[in-house]
Each structure stands twice: as C-alpha cells, then as structure tokens.
C-alpha cells in the first residue's frame, strides 16, 4: 500500500501530509514531483494545499498543466483513490476531474479557523468508515474556497450524492452562519460520479493528533486504509 | 552613458553629510563617480550602518552558553539541545508600509524570512508587531487592512504559521506606522550558514528574481523623515512575489544539504551592494562583479540602478570553484534565474564591471571599518518632567458605572479580540501549533523531540514615552513573563528599536535610556540579544513616534506537554494571585488613563527585577510540576482586564469567575480595577493542587493570595464590579472591527 504525495512549485502542505501519512498513520508514502508523468506503483494519490505556481491566474490553473496531472487523470479513471485538499481541490476542479469552480471567499479575505462539516456520503474511499450525519471538526485555511457551480451541475451533484461534506454548526445543522466562505449549498467537499476522487477545502491532515486539537481528520485516512485493504492492496 | 557629475550637493541629496562626503573622497583618494557615490550613500545610510545607534547597542549582553551566532549576521542562532538550534530576528518595514501598506508589509515578511533561511534554517513560525495611528484617523483603517493582508498573504504563501504578536493604536503613529516582522527557523547546529565571501577565485552566484528598478534607495528613504511628499516615494517601495520566495527557500535549503556553499546572504536593503560588500568585508576579501550577467527585468538599467535596486527575492551566493554547474542545475529545477556574476578576489578591492568597463572600484574594508559612527548628543527633553508629573487622582472623575467602563476597555482596539487579524494568517500550517494566537505566548512543538518553542513580542510605548529606561526594562519583563506564563524559559531576544530622528538630542536620550533599561533586564534574566534592527527617523513633519523598542523573546519548553495557556480551564478551579509582598498599581501610562480620560502621563509602574526573576522561575517550576491550569500576567487594563481575559479568551467559550478584590479597601475601586502593575500573575489550579502550589511559591519568595474560584455566568470582583461573562465576551469579540469600521 503506497501513497503518492504530489508536490508542485509552491506546495506548502506537502510536508504536513507526509507527516500525517507516514509518521502518524504509519503508511508508506513518497513525494512525487510535478514533472513526473507516471504514478506507476502507487495505490493512492493525495494532493495537498499551498499556492501552486503562486496561485497565478487562478489557484490550480497552472498546476493542472503539469505532466503529473495527466497521470492523475489516468489513475482516477482507473478507479484509484485520489484526494485533493484545499489547493489540491482547486487543482482537481481546474483539471475538470471534479465539477464546479472556486471563487474568492465572500469576505474577500483569507480565513483560517476551525470549521464543522457534516458527512453526507460514505461512498468515497476517504469516508468509508465514517457514518453519514457525523460532524467532523476540521480547520479551513484559504482565500478561494467559495465553491460555485451552476444550478444544473448542482442538481446533478445532489442527485448523484456527490456532495460529501457540508459546513454546519457543532450540532450538524447546515446554517449560513457556519459557512466560512460563502460556498453554494454550504458545500465543503465533493466527489466524482464514481466516488473515487474526493475534493475538499478543510484540512484533514491538521487533525490527526489529539495534541493538535483532535483526530477527526484521521478518520479519512483510516477510511482510505480500510478501502485499500478491501481492494486487496 | 553620460556621467552625472558628483558634487557635495548631490552627496547631500543622497543623504551624505559634508563630513561623510569628505571621508568618501579620502578613502577613494579621488572624486567618486556617480555609481560609487550611490554605493557609499547606501552603505553609510542609517539603515545599513547603524551609525547613530552602534555605540549604544554595545550595551546589550550578547553572549550565553546557548548562543551559536550573535548580532552581526543575517539572524541570530541559539542552541536548543538535541543537536538542534533556532535562528530568529525581528525587522522593521515601517516606511514602505506607510507609503504602500500591502507591498510594504508583505516584503517585510519576505525580508525576514530570507534572513532566517540564509542561516540554513527552515522558517517555522512568525510574529508581527504593529503600531497604527488613532482608530479615528482617516487613514488608519486602510493601513490596518492593507498591512494585515500583505503580511498574511506573504506568510501564507510561503507556508509559515503566524503565532500572534501585538497591535497598538496611538496618535503618535498617525503619520508613521510601525510594521515589525519576526520569524524563527529551525536548523541542525552543524548546518549553520554564514555570509562570507571566502576563497580567492570562488564564483559569486546571483539567484532569484530578476533585478528591476524598484526600491532604489529604499535604505536611504528609511533613513529620513517623512513629509508631505512621502507619497511620491511610492516607486521606491518594492513589490514582493512570495511564490518566488517559496521556491528560493526550498532551493536554498536543498542546496545547503550539499557542501558546495561557502557563503550566502540575501539581498535586502541596498540589494547587490550591501550583500556583496558585507560578505567580502566579513571574509577580508574583495570581488570582481560583472553587471552584464545580472538577470535583469528591464532594459537599459544603469550600473547605479543595478547596484542599488531593492528588487525582492534575490540571494547572493559564494560557492566552491568547480561546483558552479551543480548549483545552477539545482536552481534550474526550481525554475529560478541563477547566474555566475563574479568571483572572490584577494586584493580587498571591489571592482564592478559593466559593458567591459570598470564602473566602480572601492576598497572593501574602509567602507565598513571606516563607516561613520556617531556618539550623538543626548539631552533629556525639557517636557519630560511635566510628562512624568503624577496625575492628581482628584482630577480623574470616577466612572458612574464600573462595569460599563470595564466593558469599554475590553472592547477598545488595544484590548479587543484580534481574531479579525489572525484568522487571515494561517496559524496551523506545518502542524506544530500547540497554542494559537490569543494567549500570552504562542507555542509550537519541535517534531521528533519533546520540546516546544514559545514566542512573544511586546512593547508598551506609553511607558517608553513617559520613562524610556523603565519602559525598555518593562518590555523585557513583559515579554519574558509571557514566555514564563507559558511554562517556557527565555533563551534569546531580538529587538527592533523604532525611534524618531537621532539628530535630535531628545530622541537620542530616549534611545540611550531604552537600551540601558532593556540591557539591565536582559542581564538580570540572563537573556542574550542575538539579533535585531534599528529603525530611526520615524517622524513626520518633525513629530516623532512614541519610542517603541519592540522586543521578541524565544522560550524553550523541554517538555511541550507542560505548556500553559492564559485562559481558565474548568469550573471549580481555584484562582490565585502571584506577586510581590506589597501589591502596587499605578495610574501612570495606564490604558485606563488614556482610553477613558484621554491622558498619557505620570510614571509607569517600576519593575522589581529580582522579584520578576523569582516570579518567572516559580512559574516555570509550577508548570513543570503540573501544578497550574493557567497563568496570565497583569498588563494593560490592570487587574480587572487581566481577569476578564482569563475568562473570555477561552477557546471553548467564556467562563465566569468570582474573586475578591486583591487591593486594600481604601483604594478607589476604578484604580484597583484598572491601574497597572508589574510582576503580578493571575493563576488558576485544581483545588487539590493549591497547597502544593503555595509551598512551591514560598520557596521562590513569591506571595500567593487566594482570590476565589472559576465558574458561573458572571465575572465578579466582589464588592467592586460584576459583568456577564458572555456579554463581555461578545463585546470583546466585536470591539476590534467595530472601532476601526472594518467589516467583521
């Protein structure tokens, strides 16, 4: 079971991801530089945050052109588990692997704080062991995390149960006040139609130890391990 | 190119006095040309040469068993054990931030980050210390929003968490804000890098952003007063690119894993000039530089412009001869411009070539060794006596409603919740943050060890205005007390001395006194000064700022799990006061006097250094033995505001407290609540640990007074005043944005 941690020029959360996966979860994981064109030998792909290419043009708009993204598309098409967090989510959106787009937060400012998200679907490899309805406390840290999609796309997302996380209050009520960035439908994370690719703005890698405020984020990686084991990896 | 004639008048325009210009001619043995004059003027600017402060800076203690690198390098380095060290420095970017807040403040962060990774350290946390004008001043809101966004964007993009800092507002900063940025980095002790241009024939390599015409003479601008035309200086403010910085950071740290580097320095103030001359001067060498090989952003740049440009995100390296291609390849991997632009020479002369001609030829040693040093005249201001005269209590009307005054102080921008600011900064990245911004000190862990690092930045400039010696001393006391309140031991200090025009004897008096006070406290507490920066000429139209010697102290926790926070934890915990035998509080320089009665006057509280030292040792001992639930010192706003902070800053939501009044009953209630003290800390502990705590305190000669208990809906100082904890918390949370007219 081996995980690829993608690194782009400007990635900042790659080290945090590596610490969470290797040191805390005990997984085998390796950095993969953006100019690699193969993901041969990897069983899962994680794309974490930062400001790839300085967020020039739009966050993720340049990273999507990196050779490694073509490999990610092939990997995803083959059913492999892929998670994009924060800038990773933005890259997956820009690449068209996931539908919709990110716009600047409603406040027009960067926001770094704890957020509560309600789990809406356990069909992804990263929510495999999390009961739908459970509320996770995971921080957000972004300027452009205001998820947007046109009404038809949104309707399709809802109908196909592709909304995986929604911002909510501590009790699980999806309210305007609990939405940190103005995302349509309080959407914090979505998956592709097949369910194997997840994009989310909150940072699960920052909540894998009690010492740092909780282990809700660890549930996503626990899920990934269970899912991969089920697939015989 | 038509050579512009060099005259004493031109030298003056460049900021060189007649005597300094004569000295230039003596060193050169001839008339300098235009480019040479430019080089001398920036090297001898206040910003680069410390010519007015140097004689006073010598008073700081700079040695200690942990100090691996003291002042004089890009940043200080202090040993934290286990083969690890931390490198840190605080630096000002005041003038540029006032002119262009977003880019001015952003490039302040960029500059200090480069200073730290130049030493071979990976930046792991930042602090910022900000001073703005009155919240009512029409420009304040724009400056606050711009500076915060600029610093946050830059730090977020390079992935350095912000652990907090401080923000103050005072009319004295209306025309001259202060933006001081601090960064600490982590390195292995054997990996320290320094700025030496050693080894004759070794190539000099330029790496990073291309050079443009931005920021030319920025160091000179930072060495002069402001006037009506300062806005016209906007083109001298550099624009930053944090993405390039991030690449530079990763590339340099990767390169440092090899042994190809001989010396490295960032191009900060005075760019190519300062970095090359300083590196050669430290090594006692010279250099030959070909400006044609400098990557350039625009065409037609003159040698003068190339040497003085302060374009951001550039580094100068000296590498071992024969290793050039390896180094250039590495930078290519990171898509960075890198170019061999010269070599180290043995004759001690700096030669700069351009289009095949030598355009500047200056002996290296004299430009640094013979740089002007001024022991400028000092005079205590005539107005100081009037300023220090004790305020007659009878002239201070007692508030009709103490609870209302309490709320007012807690929601004024100085005291109010700074979440509006720190939620714009990523304070969790690198997954080390144990105590987020909002406690006395921020705390991060050091992965792979049990250790933690505590950080605090402090300065009460009202105190410094009233008595710079006491104020300077208090800055150290407060900062180290904040470190002790988190359970950590101070291991090093860095400072940013922000003052007015040093050519005025009254300003030099402030500077001299403040340094003496700081030095005295540092000596008493054994805290070495390892780096720092001096920012003078913080004046607009002849009016200086409050003297502001900002202090940042780094503390070490051998066991990070023993860290403390300032807020109360659980209902039922006992509340105690730790302090000197006789509790004293002063109205002089208090927030209460300023905010409610519109006065900055009187004498600030006088710290008792031996008590302070014992108090801090006691706090660390109590933390180590897990006797405490929280510790928070009395500062601005006095006892009542410190107590309120223990209740409302709690991340899980506000909690009440019922305490007795620690002051004698004959003290006016408003003074008991809001007058200010030094060396006093509010503690809380589990009731069953109270006796152990008291006996620990007695060992250190610290007096402990029982005050009451945590819990309930109200914050109640019995017989004096009472407020609802949740109402006060709401006002405290909304106060900052509200008083500045910012959107929440």
**Coil, helix or strand at residue B22:** helix
CA distance A119 to A142: 20
CA distance B226 to B222: 9
Q: Strands (DSSP E) along chain A, which ranges?
A: 2-7, 28-33, 44-47, 82-85, 101-103, 111-119, 135-142, 146-148, 163-168, 187-191, 197-200
Q: Contacts of residue A10 in chain B, CB cutoff 8 Å?
A: 157, 243, 246-247
Mean pLDDT of B665-683: 96
Q: Which of residues 419-438 of B touch A (CB under 8 A)?
A: 422-431, 433-434
CA distance B333 to B338: 11
What integer pLDDT is reported at residue B16 of this predicted model? Answer: 92
Tokens found for residue B114: 């480069």
Confidence (pTM): 0.95
Of B429, B491, B434, B534, nearest in space to B55 by CA: B534
Q: What band does A146 get if pLDDT is binned at 50, 70 and 90?
A: very high
Mutate one of A8, A10, A22 to test the B interface: name it (highest B CB count within 10 A): A10
Q: What band does B238 get if pLDDT is binned at 50, 70 and 90?
A: confident
Choose the catalytic residue: A86, A94, A142, A168: A86
Contact between chains at A141 and B431 (C-beta distance less than 8 A):
no
What integer pLDDT is reported at residue B743 of this predicted model? Answer: 79
CA distance B477 to B480: 5
The answer to whether residue B231 scores a pLDDT higher than 70 is: no
What integer pLDDT is reported at residue B228 of this predicted model? Answer: 57
Q: Contacts of residue B431 in chain A, CB cutoff 8 Å?
A: 16, 19-20, 205-206, 209, 212
- CB atoms under 10 Å from CB of B625, counted, come to 13
Q: Quick check: B574 contacting A, CB < 8 Å? A: no
Q: What band does A181 get if pLDDT is binned at 50, 70 and 90?
A: very high
Which string of DSSP letters, residue by residue, matches B116-166? Answer: HHHTTPEEEEEEEEEEE--TTSTTHHHHHHHHHHHHHHHHHHHT--EEEEE
Mutate one of A7, A21, A141 to test the B interface: name it (highest B CB count within 10 A): A141
What integer pLDDT is reported at residue B615 of this predicted model? Answer: 98
What integer pLDDT is reported at residue A130 of this predicted model? Answer: 97
What integer pLDDT is reported at residue A233 of this predicted model? Answer: 85
Tokens found for residue B396: 């201070």
The answer to whether residue A135 scores a pLDDT higher than 60 is: yes
Listed range (B161-170, B364-373, B517-526, B684-693) with the worst mean pLDDT: B364-373
Q: Contacts of residue B445 in chain A, CB cutoff 8 Å?
A: 211
What integer pLDDT is reported at residue B287 of this predicted model? Answer: 96
Residue A50: closest CA among chain B residues belongs to which residue?
A: B157
What integer pLDDT is reported at residue B220 of this predicted model? Answer: 61
Residue B744: closest CA among chain A residues belongs to which residue?
A: A107
What integer pLDDT is reported at residue B425 of this predicted model? Answer: 97
The answer to whether residue B602 scores a pLDDT higher than 60 is: yes
Residue the block writes with tokens 């922000």 = B498
Tokens found for residue B671: 């003074």
Q: Which of residues 673-712 of B touch A (CB under 8 A)?
A: none
User: Residues B413, B167: contact at Cβ < 8 Å?
Assistant: yes
Strands A111-119 and A101-103: unpaired
Q: In this prediction, what percent of chain B has a pLDDT beyond 70?
A: 97
Who has greater pLDDT, A147 or B298?
A147
Q: At what angle do helices A67-77 and A87-95 cross, to 10 degrees?
A: 80
Q: Quick check: A206 contacting B, CB < 8 Å? A: yes
Q: Which of residues 228-267 of B touch A (CB under 8 A)?
A: 241-244, 246-247
Nearest Cβ partner for A212 among B157, B334, B431: B431
Q: What band does B233 get if pLDDT is binned at 50, 70 and 90?
A: low
Residue A142: closest CA among chain B residues belongs to which residue?
A: B426
Q: Quick check: B140 contacting A, CB < 8 Å? A: no
What integer pLDDT is reported at residue B456 of this predicted model? Answer: 98
Q: Contacts of residue A202 in chain B, CB cutoff 8 Å?
A: none
Contact between chains at B430 and A109 (C-beta distance less than 8 A):
no
Q: Quick check: A110 contacting B, CB < 8 Å? A: yes
Query: Taking the CA atoms of chain A, what radius of gyration do you get in angstroms?
Result: 16
What integer pLDDT is reported at residue B216 of this predicted model? Answer: 75
Q: What band does B47 get if pLDDT is binned at 50, 70 and 90?
A: confident
What integer pLDDT is reported at residue B222 of this predicted model? Answer: 58
Q: Contacts of residue B151 in chain A, CB cutoff 8 Å?
A: none
Residue the block writes with tokens 């007390």 = B481
Of A42, A64, A228, A180, nearest in space to B424 by CA: A180
Mean pLDDT of B131-152: 96
pLDDT tens for B184-223 read 999 999 999 988 888 999 999 999 999 988 777 665 655 5
> Distance (Å) from the C-alpha of residue A143 to the closest C-alpha of chain B?
9
**Coil, helix or strand at residue A170:** coil
CA distance B68 to B119: 11
What integer pLDDT is reported at residue A26 of this predicted model? Answer: 97
Which H or E run includes A76?
A: helix A67-77
CA distance B421 to B181: 14
The answer to whether residue A34 scores a pLDDT higher than 90 is: yes
CA distance B151 to B170: 21
Catalytic amino acids of B? 47, 93
What integer pLDDT is reported at residue B236 of this predicted model? Answer: 65
Q: What band does B347 get if pLDDT is binned at 50, 70 and 90?
A: very high
The answer to whether residue B230 scores a pLDDT higher than 90 is: no
User: Residues B423, A112: contact at Cβ < 8 Å?
Assistant: yes
Nearest Cβ partner for A141 among B149, B334, B429: B429
Task: Lay out the sheet containing A187-191: strands in order across.
Answer: A28-33, A2-7, A44-47, A82-85, A197-200, A187-191, A163-168, A111-119, A135-142
| Average pLDDT, rounded, for chain B | 94
What integer pLDDT is reported at residue B467 of this predicted model? Answer: 98
What integer pLDDT is reported at residue B94 of this predicted model? Answer: 94
Q: Contacts of residue A217 in chain B, CB cutoff 8 Å?
A: none
Q: Under 8 Å CB-to-CB from B304, ≥6 apart: which residues?
A: B34, B35, B38
Q: Quick check: B575 contacting A, CB < 8 Å? A: no
Q: What band does B368 get if pLDDT is binned at 50, 70 and 90?
A: confident
Nearest Cβ partner for B431 among A10, A19, A109: A19
């Amino acid at each position: 079971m081996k995980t690829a941690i993608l690194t782009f020029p400007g990635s900042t959360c790659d080290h945090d991801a590596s610490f969470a996966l290797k040191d805390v979860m005990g997984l085998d994981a390796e950095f993969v530089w953006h100019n690699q064109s193969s993901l041969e030998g990897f069983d899962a792909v994680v794309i974490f945050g930062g400001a790839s290419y300085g967020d020039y043009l739009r966050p993720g708009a340049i990273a999507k052109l990196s050779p490694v993204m073509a490999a990610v598309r092939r990997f995803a098409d083959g059913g492999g588990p892929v998670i994009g967090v924060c800038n990773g989510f933005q890259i997956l959106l820009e690449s068209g692997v996931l539908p919709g787009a990110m716009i600047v937060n409603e406040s027009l400012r960067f926001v770094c704080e704890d957020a509560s998200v309600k789990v809406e679907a356990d069909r992804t490899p990263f929510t495999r062991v999390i009961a739908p309805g459970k509320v996770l406390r995971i921080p957000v840290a972004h300027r452009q995390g205001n998820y947007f999609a046109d009404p038809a796309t949104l309707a399709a997302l809802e109908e196909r149960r592709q909304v995986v996380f929604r911002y909510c209050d501590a009790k699980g009520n999806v309210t305007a006040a609990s939405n940190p960035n103005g995302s349509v439908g309080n959407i914090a994370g979505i998956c592709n139609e097949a369910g194997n690719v997840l994009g989310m703005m909150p940072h699960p890698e920052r909540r894998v130890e009690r010492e740092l405020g909780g282990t809700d984020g660890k549930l996503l990686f626990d899920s990934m391990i269970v899912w991969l084991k089920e697939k015989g990896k | 190119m038509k050579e512009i004639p060099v005259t004493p008048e031109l030298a003056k325009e460049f900021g060189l006095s007649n005597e300094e210009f004569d000295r230039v001619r003596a060193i050169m043995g001839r008339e300098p040309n235009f480019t040479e004059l430019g080089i001398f003027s920036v090297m001898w600017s206040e910003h680069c040469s410390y010519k007015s402060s140097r004689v006073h800076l010598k008073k700081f203690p700079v040695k200690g068993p942990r100090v691996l690198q003291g002042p004089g390098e890009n940043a200080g380095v202090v040993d934290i054990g286990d083969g690890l060290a931390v490198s840190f420095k605080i630096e000002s970017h005041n003038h540029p931030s006032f002119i262009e807040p977003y880019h001015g403040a952003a490039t302040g962060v960029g500059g200090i980050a480069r200073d730290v990774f130049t030493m071979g350290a990976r930046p792991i946390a930042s602090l910022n210390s900000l001073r703005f004008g009155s919240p009512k001043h029409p420009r304040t809101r724009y400056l606050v929003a711009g500076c915060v966004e600029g610093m946050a964007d830059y730090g977020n993009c390079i992935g350095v968490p912000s652990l907090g800092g401080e923000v103050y507002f005072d009319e004295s900063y209306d025309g001259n804000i202060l933006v001081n940025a601090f960064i600490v980095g982590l390195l292995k002790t054997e990996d320290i890098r320094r700025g030496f241009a050693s080894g004759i024939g070794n190539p000099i390599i330029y790496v990073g952003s291309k050079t443009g015409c931005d920021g030319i003479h920025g160091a000179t601008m930072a060495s002069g007063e402001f006037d009506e035309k300062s806005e016209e200086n906007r083109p001298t403010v550099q624009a930053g690119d944090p993405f390039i910085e991030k690449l530079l950071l990763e590339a340099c740290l990767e390169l440092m894993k090899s042994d190809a580097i001989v010396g490295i320095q960032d191009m900060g103030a005075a760019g190519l000039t300062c970095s090359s001359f300083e590196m050669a001067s430290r090594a006692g060498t010279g250099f030959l530089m070909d400006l044609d090989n400098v990557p350039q952003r625009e065409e037609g740049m003159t040698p003068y412009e190339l040497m003085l440009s302060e374009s951001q995100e550039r580094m100068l390296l000296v590498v071992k001869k024969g290793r050039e291609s390896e180094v250039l390849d590495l930078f290519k991997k990171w898509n960075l411009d890198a170019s061999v632009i010269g070599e180290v020479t043995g004759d001690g002369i700096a030669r700069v070539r351009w289009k095949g001609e030598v355009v500047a030829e200056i002996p290296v040693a004299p430009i640094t060794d013979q740089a002007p040093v001024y022991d400028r005249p000092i005079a205590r201001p005539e107005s100081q006596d009037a300023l220090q005269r004790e305020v007659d209590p009878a002239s201070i009307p007692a508030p009709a409603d103490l609870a209302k005054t309490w709320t007012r102080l807690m929601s004024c921008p100085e005291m109010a919740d700074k979440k509006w600011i720190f939620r714009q900064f990523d304070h969790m990245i690198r997954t080390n943050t144990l105590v987020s911004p909002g406690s006395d000190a921020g705390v991060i862990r050091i992965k792979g060890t049990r250790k933690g690092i505590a950080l605090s930045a402090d300065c009460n400039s009202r105190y410094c205005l009233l008595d710079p010696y006491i104020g300077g001393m208090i800055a150290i006391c407060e900062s180290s007390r904040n470190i002790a309140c988190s359970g950590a031991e101070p291991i090093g200090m860095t400072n940013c001395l922000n003052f007015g025009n040093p050519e005025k004897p009254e300003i030099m008096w402030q500077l001299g006194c403040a340094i003496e006070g700081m030095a005295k406290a540092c000596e008493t507490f054994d805290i070495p000064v390892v780096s720092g920066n001096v920012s003078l000429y913080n004046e607009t139209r002849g009016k200086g700022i409050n003297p502001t010697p900002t202090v940042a102290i780094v503390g070490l926790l051998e066991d990070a799990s023993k860290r403390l926070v300032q807020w109360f934890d659980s209902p039922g915990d006992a509340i105690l006061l730790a302090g000197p035998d006789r509790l004293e509080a002063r109205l002089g320089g208090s927030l209460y006097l300023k905010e409610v009665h519109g006065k900055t006057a009187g004498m600030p509280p006088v710290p008792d250094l031996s008590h302070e030292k014992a108090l801090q040792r006691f706090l660390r001992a109590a933390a180590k033995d897990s006797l405490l639930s929280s510790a928070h010192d009395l500062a601005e706003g006095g006892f009542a505001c410190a107590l309120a902070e223990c209740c409302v800053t709690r991340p899980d939501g506000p909690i009440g407290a019922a305490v007795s009044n620690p002051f004698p009953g004959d003290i006016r209630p408003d003074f008991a609540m809001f007058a200010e003290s030094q060396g006093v800390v509010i503690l809380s502990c589990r009731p069953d640990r109270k006796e152990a705590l008291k006996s620990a305190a007695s060992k250190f000669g610290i007096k402990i007074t029982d005050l009451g208990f945590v819990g309930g809906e109200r914050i109640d100082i019995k017989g004096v005043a009472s407020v609802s904890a949740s109402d006060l918390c709401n006002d405290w949370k909304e106060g900052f944005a509200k008083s500045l007219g910012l959107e929440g």
